[in-house]
Amino acid sequence: MAHPADTDDEASLLALQRTDENAFMEGVFRRYYTPLGRTVNRMVNDPQATDDILQDVFLKIWHNRQNLSFTYSIKSYLYRAAINAALNYLEKSKRTVGLEDGEFAEPAAEGAEDALHLREVESRVQAAIDTLPPACKTIFVLSRYEEMSYKEIAESMQISVKTVENQMGKALRQLKQYLSAYAKHLFSLFL
CA 17 to each of CA 29, 59, 107, 117: distance values in angstroms, whole numbers, following the listed order: 13, 16, 45, 51
Looking at residue 188, its pLDDT comes to: 65
The conformational region for residue 133 under phi > 0 = left, psi -120 to 50 = alpha, else beta, is beta
Domain around 86: 4-190
Task: Give the long-range contacts of residues 31-35, CB within 8 A, separation 24 or more.
Answer: 32/74, 32/75, 32/78, 33/58, 35/146
CATH of the domain at 127: 1.10.10.10
pLDDT in tens, 47-84: 999 999 999 988 887 777 667 666 667 787 888 888 88
In angstroms, rounded to a whole number, what is the distance separating the alpha carbons of residues 103 and 89? 22
Q: CA triplet 24, 25, 28: central angle to 5 degrees?
A: 85
Residue 185: pLDDT band with limits 50, 70, 90 = low
User: Domain count of the chain?
Assistant: 1
